[in-house]
């Protein structure tokens, strides 16, 4: 844990985990170096992008059949978003948005590639790729090209995760920092706003239970800690291997009953 209360959870090994069929070593060197990217020709970028896209689509096809994916899909369908869609797949695809923050440089990270593959799989299952927005300030030109080719929408500016949900929205944010979750919550800090928010990311409860956040961390991320008593959290069993890719994952959302019980006064004060 750092001085601001951040921590890294080391996942415990479990029996019966999914074993990757894709040979990761064949993809590690899809891009050997991006440092001299400006020196690459357009044809080189096109070739690298095509290889990386094929890799990601291959990962998505494999992870689609994984136990972890089924668990996440089941959890999402049990949220208030599923009730609002009345279990109608057509309404679901019309009304659900996805937003991804904090993915990192997936062209050079196997963790990032598998997380992006999961995002693609969930998006394909529950909505459309053009209804999935994504942003990370570290994305390079190659990665931007790949994301566009995959059909995802890149947000134009760095909002520091201050994103307002205009409809039911799943925020896909594995391994992000407390401040990033806080900014999503803060941007939607009303009864109506939070009802539309569902966050797939680090377990909020574990921030409280496994660490002793500093006073500064609690102050800087007050939304996260203030919502703990009235947020629903569904822990996602880590059945994937390597277990560092989706460790400490949980789905967080707010029900209409929870929000009505706490009342508007909670949102009129802060910190």
Find the mean pLDDT for residues 216-235.
92
Task: Tell me how far apart the alpha carbons of residues 109 and 115 are, in angstroms, rounded to a whole number.
Answer: 10
Does residue 7 have a pLDDT over 70?
no
269 pLDDT band (50/70/90 cuts)? low
Q: Which has the minimum average pLDDT: 55-59, 205-209, 212-216, 264-268?
A: 264-268
Find the mean pLDDT for residues 178-204.
96
Range 68-85 burial, b when 16+ CB lie within 10 A, else e: bbebbeebbeebbbbebb
Give the pLDDT of residue 40.
59
Does residue 186 have a pLDDT over 90?
yes
Find the mean pLDDT for residues 80-86.
52
Does residue 90 have a pLDDT over 80?
no
93 pLDDT band (50/70/90 cuts)? low
Range 181-202 burial, b when 16+ CB lie within 10 A, else e: bbbbbbbbbebebbbbbbbbbb
Compute the mean pLDDT over every residue in the chain, rounded to the nearest whole number.
84
Cβ-proximal residues to 268 (8 Å cutoff; 6+ apart), any chain: none
């Amino acid at each position: 844990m750092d001085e601001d209360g951040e921590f890294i959870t080391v996942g415990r090994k479990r029996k019966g985990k999914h074993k990757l069929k894709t040979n990761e070593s064949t993809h590690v060197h899809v891009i050997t170096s991006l440092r001299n990217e400006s020196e690459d020709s357009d044809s080189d970028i096109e070739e690298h992008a095509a290889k990386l896209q094929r890799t990601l689509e291959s990962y998505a096809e494999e992870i689609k059949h994984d136990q972890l994916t089924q668990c996440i899909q089941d959890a999402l369908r049990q949220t208030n978003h599923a009730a609002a869609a009345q279990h109608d797949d057509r309404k679901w695809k019309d009304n659900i948005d996805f937003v991804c923050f904090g993915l990192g440089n997936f062209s050079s990270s196997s963790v990032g590639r598998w997380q992006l593959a999961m995002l693609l799989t969930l998006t394909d299952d529950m909505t459309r790729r053009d209804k999935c927005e994504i942003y990370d300030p570290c994305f390079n030109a190659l990665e931007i090209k790949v994301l566009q080719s995959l059909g995802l929408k890149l947000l134009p500016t760095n909002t520091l995760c201050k994103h307002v949900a205009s409809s039911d929205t799943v925020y896909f944010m594995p391994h992000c920092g407390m401040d990033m979750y806080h900014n999503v919550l803060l941007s939607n800090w009303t009864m109506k706003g939070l009802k539309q928010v569902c966050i797939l990311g680090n377990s909020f409860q574990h921030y409280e239970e496994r660490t002793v956040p500093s006073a500064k961390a609690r102050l800087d991320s007050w939304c996260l800690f203030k919502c703990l008593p009235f947020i629903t959290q569904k822990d996602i069993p880590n059945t994937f291997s390597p277990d560092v890719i989706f460790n400490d994952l949980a789905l967080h959302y707010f029900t209409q009953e929870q929000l009505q019980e706490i009342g508007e006064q909670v949102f009129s004060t802060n910190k």
